[in-house]
Amino acid sequence: MPRSGTLEDMEHESSQSQPNVLVVMFDQVAPSALRCYGNAVTVTPTIDQLARTGVVFDAAYSNSPLCTPARYCMMTGRLPSGTGGYDNAAYLPSTQPTLAHYARLAGYRTVLDGKMHFVGPDQLHGFEERRTTDIYPADFGWTPNWLQPDERIDWWMHNMDSVKQAGTAEVTNQLLYDDEVGHQGIRALHDLARADDERPWLLVVSFTHPHDPYVTRSRYWDLYDGVDIPLPSVGRDDVPLDPHTERLRRLSAMDEVEITAEDTRRARRAYYSNISYLDEWTGRLLSTLDALQVRDDTIVVLLADHGDMLGERGLWYKMSFFEDSARIPMIVNAPTRFAPKRVADPVSLVDVLPTIAELAGDGVPPSVTPLAGRSLIDLCGDQPPAEAPVPREVVGEYCGEGAIAPILMFRQGELKFVHSPVDPDQLYDLAADPMERHNLVDDPGLGDTVAAFRRKVAEGWDLDSLYDDVIADQSRRRLVDAALRTGKVTPWEYTPPVDASGQYMRNHLDLNDVERGARYPPADVTLE
């Protein structure tokens, strides 16, 4: 529930009951690729253990299946139409409250390590510190153009090279980045434990794997030696070609090369291998919590920004509301607070902010903007609510690359409805048809259901105005980007500050103080 009190009160309220929160975020992970969601192939002992001892959400979704929009949904608890977070070059205003702002007001120290893909000069958005730069640009250079949907985009990273060239390498751009993210995550845990700051902490460790390209180190590739890597369950020609799928195929040049069964197996093997790589890093983070003796005081949240089609329906990557693109893994692990269970209710990334706010002991702070999400704490607990709960639904909006008008998605119970003004509607019964082979929108027995979904769209969205806003926003960003690239260029990329004069041992520091402050747990005996 919203809480009362001044901001000053909120800044100073803190108690020993406030847990630390470690958010481990992956990039582009479909639940179907994880053993705890039914995959029989992937080697993920750490994630499996988190699932066995935690709360697993079986119907968690990305509200906007593209990197930046999805992350803005998580950070703000709002949909893209509420923040302008439409695509991978979308600007997030500094006036938009984020989960880091709410956590700080609740008395938390806030740290970001890794990818968040903030765009604009504000690269903190409520975090007190960042441990790394981002892997992707912070400027407007990746702004799409809905008015020229067939234009080949020179900056677009997705094509079939990622699939055709899948395999092994000891060093890649992404491996270098995630090695740094993992190392800095562990060091952040050490620094948080040793700090004089007594506040609880929120640490977000956000990796870029297993996002394409599908390239992995040999040691992880070899984990799958002799393993039968399954092919997609639904081929390109097994289902009708809807207009948005056709646009995505054209956008990423999916029909310009032949993707063989062997290509698909190699890409999937590398993808699974990189999940094993992330599992290893996650295990190291958890082992560090154990070594620092703070595991029982820390709630671990594991999730992803969106999924990956991995060849299902002949599609790769994301940007659609089909299950492998839009569904995400989500696990809340806190054995001292929540008994292990699986949750079938539909939930989504916009629920993360109110969940962390409630974990902080403050509920949702007085809201200056409406939140689209609801806390997940009631679903994590084992006590039935005092009142009949309001049925949960997931709402999604996609206004990024590959679209030419807003696309909406609703998940209610086992039904998923997808609507765009320029495309035929889609309705799927996920219980009877989990692979979404049969569009039921014209089923005469579901006419009332379809009509109800269409009323929801009409009553909740002015899609013409949203379209106009996206077009205008794209135009402004392209103009600003062109101007800022003319003459002297001042990048927005975040550069972590490093003061080497205060690191390790220096002659202006007292050696005993340095050694004493760097040791954790501290020594229990002081020699005179």
In the prediction, which pLDDT does 494 show?
94
What digits encode the pLDDT tens for the residues 445-499? 999 999 999 999 999 999 999 999 999 999 999 999 999 999 999 999 999 988 7
- Under DSSP, the state recorded for 390 is P
List all residues 6 or more positions away from 489 whose beta carbon is below 8 Å from its beta carbon: none
| d(C-alpha 101, C-alpha 153), whole Å | 36
What percentage of the chain exceeds 90 in pLDDT?
82
Cα diameter, the chain = 87
Task: Look up residue 249 and give its amino acid.
Answer: R
What digits encode the pLDDT tens for the residues 231-242? 999 999 999 999
Which one of 36, 73, 117, 419 is the catalytic residue?
Answer: 117
Does residue 528 have a pLDDT over 60?
no
Residue 380: pLDDT band (50, 70, 90) is very high
67 included as an active-site residue: yes
β-strands 201-210, 109-114 pairing: parallel
Q: Average pLDDT, whole number, for the chain?
A: 91
CB 415 within 8 A of CB 427: yes
In the prediction, which pLDDT does 15 show?
40
Does residue 387 have a pLDDT over 70?
no
- Backbone torsions φ then ψ of 407, nearest 5 degrees: -120, 130
For the entire predicted model, the pTM comes to 0.92
User: Averaged over 143-154, what is the pLDDT?
Assistant: 81
β-strands 327-328, 55-57 pairing: unpaired
In the prediction, which pLDDT does 422 show?
96
| d(C-alpha 114, C-alpha 347), whole Å | 24
Does residue 142 have a pLDDT over 70?
yes
List all residues 6 or more positions away from 231 whose beta carbon is below 8 Å from its beta carbon: 261, 264, 265, 311
User: Averaged over 255-263, what is the pLDDT?
Assistant: 94
Residue 153: pLDDT band (50, 70, 90) is low
Q: Among the listed ranges 277-286, 304-313, 387-396, 484-493, which one has the minimum average pLDDT value?
A: 387-396
User: Averaged over 307-322, what is the pLDDT?
Assistant: 96
Does residue 220 have a pLDDT over 80?
yes
Task: Look up residue 261 and give its amino acid.
Answer: A
Structure tokens at 206: 């956000």
Q: Which domains does the chain have, with CATH numbers?
A: 18-396 (3.40.720.10)
User: Averaged over 338-351, what is the pLDDT?
Assistant: 97
Residue found under tokens 């089609």: 309
Does residue 516 have a pLDDT over 80?
no
Beta bridge partners of 206: 25, 114
In the prediction, which pLDDT does 156 show?
59
In the prediction, which pLDDT does 417 show?
98
419 included as an active-site residue: no
CB 64 within 8 A of CB 400: yes
Task: Output 398 or 391, whichever has higher pLDDT.
Answer: 398
Highest mean pLDDT among 172-176, 507-511, 515-519: 172-176
List all residues 6 or more positions away from 455 whose beta carbon is below 8 Å from its beta carbon: none
In the prediction, which pLDDT does 3 show?
35
List all residues 6 or more positions away from 413 whose beta carbon is below 8 Å from its beta carbon: 346, 391
In the prediction, which pLDDT does 16 show?
46
In the prediction, which pLDDT does 163 show?
95
In the prediction, which pLDDT does 433 show?
97
Which one of 36, 67, 73, 399 is the catalytic residue?
Answer: 67
In the prediction, which pLDDT does 365 show?
58
Q: Among the listed ranges 20-34, 270-284, 295-309, 369-383, which one has the minimum average pLDDT value?
A: 369-383
Structure tokens at 42: 């992937």
In the prediction, which pLDDT does 158 show?
73
| d(C-alpha 92, C-alpha 72), whole Å | 8
In the prediction, which pLDDT does 498 show?
83
| d(C-alpha 279, C-alpha 134), whole Å | 21
What digits encode the pLDDT tens for the residues 107-136? 999 999 999 999 999 999 999 999 999 999
DSSP assignment of 172-186 equals -HHHHHHHHHHHHHH
In the prediction, which pLDDT does 150 show?
77
Residue 290: pLDDT band (50, 70, 90) is very high
